[in-house]
Amino acid sequence: MNKALLSLAIGGFGIGLTEFVIMGILPDVATAFNISIPKAGHFISAYALGVVIGAPLLTGLGNKWPANKVLMALMLWFTVFNTLSAFATGYTSFLILRFLSGLPHGAFFGIGAVVAGKLSKPGKAAQGIAIMFSGLTFANLLGVPLGTYVGKHFAWHVSFLMVGIVGVMAVLSVKFWMPDFKESSATNFIKEFKIFKRLELWLIILLTTIGTGGFFAWYSYIAPLITDVAGHPDTMVSFAMILAGLGMVIGNFIGAKLAEKFLPINAVIITLICMVICLSLNTILASDKIMVLVMTFIIGTVTFCLSTPIQIAIINAAKGSETLGSSLNQSAFNIGNASGAYFAGLPIAMGYGYTAADWVGAAMAAMGVCIAFGIILLRRKRKKQNTLENCYS
């Protein structure tokens, strides 16, 4: 069972590598294709769009096959199109390949989260999900810095060949280490989508979008925060990214412990409140060369405490269609990626400085807290209604 969870982590590592390494080598890709950096940013958006579309679509289409077979097929798709990305010859071909590479992302994590829960010991589902997400966090700690270094010192193509190699490892590990499962769902494709009638599901999707958007509001502008605000040289950015990645690794497992000790939605509230405090403090401390690095580690830790509790919360809210609900959380996460970077960029463009991004992140996290309390109130109202119905029945 440990090997099966490791196979999910390897897949998560590959996904994290391809999603974030493009940010480090974006200027190199722009130069290679003779386009501007803002236009090269479309490659990030294309991947995110692929995740948003692919998560519900591929999860719904794969519900009639065993989960282990679907996971292997998703990683095979991922491997093929990421490897082909290394041989893209221009803007259009690379844009299409980035979109196709993003399609299996959400479905893999969505199905993988449910599988990880089944592979874990009773009461330890959060730890199993955290192991899967550890691949994503270790990608930020080790894979992305290495992929960025290779892309800059050799060629950007090599970074995507690295992703392809990890993808092959993921396909083989799922094939040989993952036990056989029955169908992901007993319902048909159309019935799966009936979960969209549930208000709580929509609120959790909104919570993920806005809450994780607070993280990306900070993370998207971490480089100028380190160099322009704190006054570090450019070489320190890579070190800061490693600190953030280390924090993500630790925070991922702390989040799993919180989800076991408290209700998942309560763990989410605790994490988001800590995000508000840390991001607000960072606006004051970011000008200090030492404290900005300390806060980079702390914020990385706090923000990734969110991943496992919120994943469990949406799985619980999608009873009967757990894999689809779980995959939808990955769509929300990528919408949060785009929205956090966009909204944080507005005050920066108005001349308020790079610390304004942290204020935006804190505000988005605070909005997430309000939504989480709204979910708790909705549950209490529903419980009260059920009690009254039972009394009169």
Q: What would the pLDDT profile of 78-105 be if each residue is shown by its tens digit?
A: 999 999 999 998 999 999 999 999 999 9
| Alpha carbon of residue 164 to chain centroid | 20
Task: For residue range 313-324, list pLDDT tens digits in order.
Answer: 988 888 877 878
Q: What band does 202 get if pLDDT is binned at 50, 70 and 90?
A: very high
Among 49-53, 267-271, 289-293, which is the least confidently predicted range? 49-53
Buried/exposed code over 289-317 (b: 16+ C-beta within 10 A; e: otherwise): eebbbebbbbbbbbbbbbbbbbbbbbbeb
- Predicted local distance difference test score (pLDDT) of residue 393: 59
| Listed residue (202, 251, 243) closest to 226, CA to CA | 243
Q: Please, how many CA atoms are within 13 Å of residue 380, restricted to the half-sphere of its CB?
A: 6
pTM of the model: 0.82
Reduced to 3 states (helix: H, G, I; strand: E, B; else coil), residue 35 is coil
User: 61: buried, middle or exposed (CB in 10 Å: 19+, 13-18, 0-12)?
Assistant: middle
SS (H, E, C) 177-225: HCCCCCECCCCCHHHHHHHHHCHHHHHHHHHHHHHHHHHHHHHCCHHHH
Is 299 or 136 the better-scoring residue by pLDDT? 299
Residue ranges in 231-306 assigned as alpha helix (H): 235-261, 264-285, 289-303
User: 175: buried, middle or exposed (CB in 10 Å: 19+, 13-18, 0-12)?
Assistant: middle
CA distance 32 to 291: 37
Question: Terminus-to-terminus CA distance in the chain, angstroms?
Answer: 46
Residue 176 has pLDDT above 80, yes or no: yes
Answer positive or negative: Cα dihedral of 358, 360, 361, 366: positive
Residue 225 has pLDDT above 90, yes or no: no
Q: Could you tell me the domains of the chain?
A: 1-184 (1.20.1250.20), 192-386 (1.20.1250.20)
